[in-house]
Chains A and B, each alone.
Chain A
Amino acid sequence: MRGTTRTIAVAGVSALALLTAACNGGSSETTSATGGATGSASASGDTGASGGEITVNGCQPENQLIAGNTSETCGGDVLDTLTAKLVHYNSDTAEPEMDIAESIETDDNQNFTVKLKDYKFADGTPVTADSFVKAWNYTAYGPNGQGGSYFYGPIEGFDALQCTGTEEGKECEGTGKPKAEEMTGLKVVDDKTFTIKTTEKVSNLPVRLGYTAFAPQPESFFSDPEAFGKAPVGAGPFKFESWTEGQSIVVVKNPDYSGTNTAKIDKITFKFMQDMDAAYNELVANQLDLLTAIPVSALIDDKYKTELTDRNAQRETATIQWIGMNPKADPTLAKPELRKALSMAIDRETINKQIFNGTRTVSTGWVSPVVSGYKANACGEACVFDPAKAKAMLEQAGGYDGKLTLTYNTEGDHKTWTTAVCNSITDTLGIECTATPGGEFGEFLTNLTEGKTKGMFRNGWQMDYPSIENYLTPIYAKNADSNYFGPYDNPEFEKLLKEAAAAPSNDEANVKYQEAEAVLAEDFPTIPLFYGKATMGWSDKLNPVKITPFGTADFTSISLK
């Protein structure tokens, strides 16, 4: 997943057609994304001025720019412009569309045949079936230690590529060495065809294949991954130009781009910013062309709308926020009724209005509304603020003795809203609740993984690929990496996930996933809070910028006035 350690600061409502376009479920692809615009920002890239350079806020990638090793935003945003994958997510609807893939076919949701179009990498070499299979095996191979390896978990033979040693630091040595170097589930048929076999049925596999970790790699990558990671080559609409350590990354338009998603501008500079307020001040002074997140200081009283008149946009994105609890670490929170009582005691509307300045949407369930399979109101009245019912529910749970804490990680602006959530709980139920810093992200996450965090803690998710499944399996499945809730383990939930994965069609799968979400509503392992929105601002010289459902800017459609 594309998690952010910095806050995804989000902003006040601006009545742009963006939102409606998204909500209408992609009524028409060619509709101009931004109302009142000159029409040059249309999705298909055939109008509007071409050329020009822009500067965008960025941040230091956590790893070298290797698609299979990048699962955080700083590097991911850059790699997204450089790589093309089998499928591409529509920038309005998030629907997967064929990109490099000519077709992805399956009869049983377990054996997939992928046929490729004629694409070229930016270095001129062709994209072949080998480019995919070798890259995927490399990413999945344990000793390579790639951050994106877990996305290959469903493919047959993945386990044989993992280190099995138990000795700390030497997992991959001696007997711990993986048994195989290639996944048995991947077979090259010819230059333009390969097959994928999964261990179990995975109905939404094609949807997943648009994630960065599934990008193909050219031959030059395998000879020297180190050097490649400093100057990556992809088959995307942009081409890597330079990376100045600690300062900026520059990408330019790829002249040999083979797809339809052609870029309009010639050059993007991702300028690393340490502080979003500084970045915003640059934007107002027209020293920065695009800011992908407006800081809180400018959101207050919708200040940014007066400072950036006609050059701001907002859209619902796939991020969600919730409160997690670990009943094993803190048995006082074991009762679902208690968790529901806490949920009903949180005045989400007021917090959204006063703290977030309307830059969130109140959650009604565990899945983001932007993905296929979303069902409104999965949480029901347990996510609606109601002091009387909250008190009654608390009574039913047998009351609560003691103090509550809500732990947050210190980078980002979590302190403000967690404090407000706690105040709301204290105010409604009379339980003393304190928002407590849990160190920086590293420490915070370690404590969550090791089950050391007592009380409540903040949690969030940004989807990897647009499917309801991405909000359930990686978070609430018993063995999931991000299941910090005890782990949460309900056999019925597991069964539904399995059935959904095996369903013959996406629609049928979604029905099963919705049933699984209903199980969450019963067990209430986490308290849903907000759906995210992305708010961006841009300089005078840009035409309106489109925000994707992922909350990123649609870089290919950006054009100068």
Chain B
Amino acid sequence: MGKYIIRRLLQMIPVIIGTTFLIFYMVFALPGDPTAGKCGERPCPAAYVAKYRAEHNLDDPMPIRYAKYVAKTATGDLGTNRYGVKVTEDLKKRYVVTGKLALMAVAVEVVIGIAAGILSGIRKGRFIDNLVLVSTLFVISIPVFVIGALCQYFLGVKWGLFPVTVSAKPTLYELFMPAFVLGSLSIAYVARLTRTNLVENLRADYVRTAIAKGLSRKRAVGLHALRNSMIPVITFVGFDFGGLLGGAIVTERIFNIQGIGGYIFRSIYNRDGVAVVGAVTALVIVYLLVNLLVDLLYGVLDPRISHD
């Protein structure tokens, strides 16, 4: 087990380096002057530009800049962004917010998704099954910004059920609507996954045996079939968590959440390479760790899988 974890951690290193290089190169290869817009609608004075470029190492060749960056990163310093703020500070604050949002979104998708999946799984082929299918798929088919805007307008502005936007230190209640919007697309996947696996496991020999042994159907479903159906669902949620962190761009914008998605988006627009690379690197690390965790969870859920 320990060996397995160490091996996995070691494997992460090349992935992280590869990703940062890819992002680093792409961001800094973008056309456009990073100082544009800092002086209103006209170009900044030459002296201003010169100072800015010198402060941000913008005049070195790309590989040297990357090397400088990695050397600095290794000491835990992710540099300062275009506003002169330490990227690490920004990331800390914003990851807390987005992390909360993503966790809530995961909770929403897991609770609603699994419930819907079980419902349609045990009532396969009936009306409720088709209803769940069509309604979850319908959500996938609407672009996320439309869902977000609709929710905000109707639930927030018109009916006043939820706060319209999210404050700087968001409460769970404030985050509920954005989390629902963010998680809504995944609900369909979770529901489909649960249903498919449940249906399959319900037919499996061990469930039949359990029922034959005299276990109640409820218990057979809950204890045996469901537990075995959870592996793919957990895998999915693991992948999805990382995706939700970075994919919250649209949701964060609509609900004015000062999170990581909007940070990356704005930094790309501003050609603020250091901020982008730092934020994405953190994203990748979280993603890899969550997936490691998921793999370890397999062992818990299914004793047949071991990590020796």
Residues on A facing B (Cβ under 8 Å): 1-5, 60-64, 69, 71-73, 76, 142-150, 162-163, 168-172, 226, 244-248, 272-275, 277-279, 281-282, 284-285, 287, 411, 439-446, 449, 460-462, 474, 481-482
Complex contact A274–B262 (CB within 8 A): yes
Shortest beta-carbon distance from A512 to chain B in Å = 24
Contact B269–A440 (Cβ < 8 Å): yes
The 6 closest A-B pairs by CB, nearest first: A3-B41, A145-B51, A3-B40, A443-B32, A442-B36, A169-B59
B235 on the interface (CB 8 Å rule)?
no
Residues of B within 8 A of A163 (CB): 46-47, 50
**Residue among A163, A169, A272 with the most chain B CB within 10 A?**
A169
On whether the beta carbons of A145 and B157 are closer than 8 Å, the reply is no
Write the chain A residue with the least CB distance to B149.
A277
- Within B46-86, the residues touching A (CB, 8 Å) are 46-54, 58-59, 82-85
- Which residues of the partner chain B approach A69 to less than 8 Å between Cβ atoms? 48
A425 to chain B, nearest CB (A): 24
Assess whether B278 is interfacial by the CB under 8 Å rule: no
Q: B258: which A residues are within 8 A, CB to CB?
A: 246-247, 272, 274
Complex contact A278–B31 (CB within 8 A): no
B41 touches A150 (CB 8 A): no
CB interface residues, B 231-290, toward A, < 8 Å:
252-256, 258, 262-263, 266, 269-271
- Whether B94 sits at the interface, judged by CB under 8 Å, is yes
Query: Are the C-beta atoms of B48 and A442 separated by less than 8 Å?
Result: no
In contact, B165 and A145 (Cβ under 8 angstroms): no
Does B163 have its Cβ within 8 Å of any Cβ on chain A?
Answer: yes
Per the 8 Å Cβ criterion, residues 9-67 of B in contact with A are: 30-54, 58-59
- Which residues of B sit under 8 angstroms from A172, Cβ to Cβ? 47, 50-51
**Are B157 and A285 interface neighbours, CB within 8 A?**
yes
B163 and A287 within 8 A (CB): yes
Is there contact, CB below 8 Å, between B32 and A274?
no
B residues sitting closer than 8 Å to A (CB atoms) are: 30-54, 58-59, 82-85, 89-90, 93-94, 149, 152-153, 156-157, 160, 163-165, 168, 252-256, 258, 262-263, 266, 269-271
Inter-subunit contact A282/B40 (CB<8 Å): no
Partner of A145, one of B37, B52, B152, B163: B52
Please indicate which of the listed interface residues A273, A285, A440, A482 has the most CB atoms of chain B within 10 Å of its own CB: A440
Contacts A248-B168, A281-B164 hold; do A73 and B157 have CB atoms under 8 A apart? no
- With contacts A275-B254, A275-B256 known, is A62 near B37, CB below 8 A? yes
Would you give 12 A-B contacts (Cβ < 8 Å), ordered by A? Answer: A3-B39, A62-B82, A143-B47, A144-B51, A168-B53, A247-B258, A282-B164, A439-B31, A442-B34, A443-B33, A443-B36, A445-B33
Query: In the complex, what distance in Å separates the CA atom of A143 from the CA atom of B30?
Result: 27
With A64-B84, A145-B50 known to touch, is A481 a contact of B42 (CB < 8 Å)? yes
Q: Looking at the complex, which one of B32, B46, B59, B256 makes contact with A439 (CB distance below 8 Å)?
A: B32
CB B291 to nearest CB in A, in angstroms, measures 29
| A278 and B165 contacting across the interface, CB-CB below 8 Å | yes
Q: Which residue of A lies closest to B44 (CB)?
A: A147
Q: Which of B30, B39, B156 contacts A281 (CB 8 A)?
A: B156
CA distance A441 to B39 in the complex (A): 11
Per a CB cutoff under 8 Å, which of A76, A142, A246 touches B90? A246
Closest-CB distance, A273 to chain B (whole angstroms): 6
Chain A residue with Cβ nearest B45: A149
Complex formed: what's the CA distance from A553 to B252 in Å?
Answer: 27
User: Are A143 and B33 closer than 8 Å at their CB atoms?
Assistant: no
Nearest CB of chain B from residue A4's CB, rounded to whole Å: 7
Question: In the complex, what residues of A have CB within 8 A of residue B90's CB?
Answer: 245-246
Which residues on the A side are within 8 Å of B52 (C-beta)? Answer: 145
A176: nearest residue on chain B (CB-CB)?
A: B50
A449 touches B43 (CB 8 A): yes
Complex Cα distance, B40 from A149, in Å, reads: 13
Residues in A neighbouring B37, C-beta threshold 8 A = 5, 62, 72, 441-442, 445
Cross-interface CB contact of B89 among A168, A169, A245, A275, cutoff 8 Å: A245
- The residue in A146, A273, A279 that gathers the most chain B C-beta atoms within 10 A of its C-beta is A146
Residues of A within 8 A of B39 (CB): 3, 62, 71-72, 147-148
B40 CB contact (under 8 Å) in A71, A277, A281, A440: A71
B266 to chain A: which residues have CB within 8 Å? 274
> Which residue in B40, B45, B152, B270 is a CB contact (below 8 Å) of A442?
B270
A122, chain B: closest CB distance, angstroms: 23
Knowing that A245-B83, A245-B90 touch, tell me 15 more A-B residue pairs with CB under 8 angstroms: A3-B39, A3-B42, A62-B37, A72-B38, A142-B47, A149-B48, A245-B85, A245-B93, A274-B256, A277-B254, A278-B152, A282-B165, A442-B270, A481-B42, A482-B41
Identify the closest chain B residue to A5 (Cβ).
Answer: B37
Q: A4-B40, A246-B94, A442-B271 are in contact. Are A281 and B152 (CB under 8 A)?
A: yes
State whether A442 and B33 are in contact (beta carbons under 8 Å apart), knowing that A147-B44, A285-B156 are contacts in the complex.
yes
Nearest A-chain residue to B271, judged by Cβ: A442
In this complex, the member of B45, B47, B270 whose beta carbon has the largest number of chain A beta carbons within 10 angstroms is B47
Contact between B47 and A281, CB atoms less than 8 A apart = no
Q: Looking at the assembled complex, report how far the CB atom of A321 sits from the nearest CB atom of chain B, in whole angstroms.
A: 11
- Distance in Å from the Cβ of B65 to the closest Cβ of chain A? 12
Cα separation A474 to B58 with both chains bound (whole Å): 29
**Shortest beta-carbon distance from A389 to chain B in Å:** 32
**Is B160 within 8 A of A246, CB to CB?**
no
Query: Separation in Å of the A465 CB from the closest CB of chain B?
Result: 14
Looking at the assembled complex, report how far the CB atom of B243 sits from the nearest CB atom of chain A, in whole angstroms: 21
Taking CB atoms, residues of chain B closer than 8 Å to A287 are: 163-165
Q: How far is the CA of A444 from the CA of B271 in the complex (A)?
A: 13
Q: Is the CB of A281 within 8 A of B157?
A: yes
Q: Which residues of A contact B269 (CB under 8 A)?
A: 411, 440, 442
Distance, CA A461 to CA B160, complexed state (A):
39
Q: Name the residue on B nearest A443 (C-beta).
A: B32
Looking at the assembled complex, report how far the CB atom of B184 sits from the nearest CB atom of chain A, in whole angstroms.
Answer: 18
Determine whether the beta carbon of A147 is less than 8 Å from that of B41.
no
B283 vs chain A, min Cβ distance (A): 18
Residues of A within 8 A of B168 (CB): 244, 247-248
CB of A242, distance to nearest CB on chain B (Å):
12
- The distance from the CB of B60 to the nearest CB of chain A, in whole angstroms, is 9
- Please determine whether A168 and B93 come into contact, CB atoms closer than 8 angstroms: no
What's the least CB distance linking A52 to chain B, in Å?
A: 20
| Minimum C-beta distance from A214 to chain B (A) | 16
Our pick among A62, A143, A244, A247 for the contact of B38 (Cβ within 8 Å) is A62
Residues of B with C-beta under 8 A to A1: 40-42
Chain B neighbourhood of A171, CB < 8 A: 46-47, 50
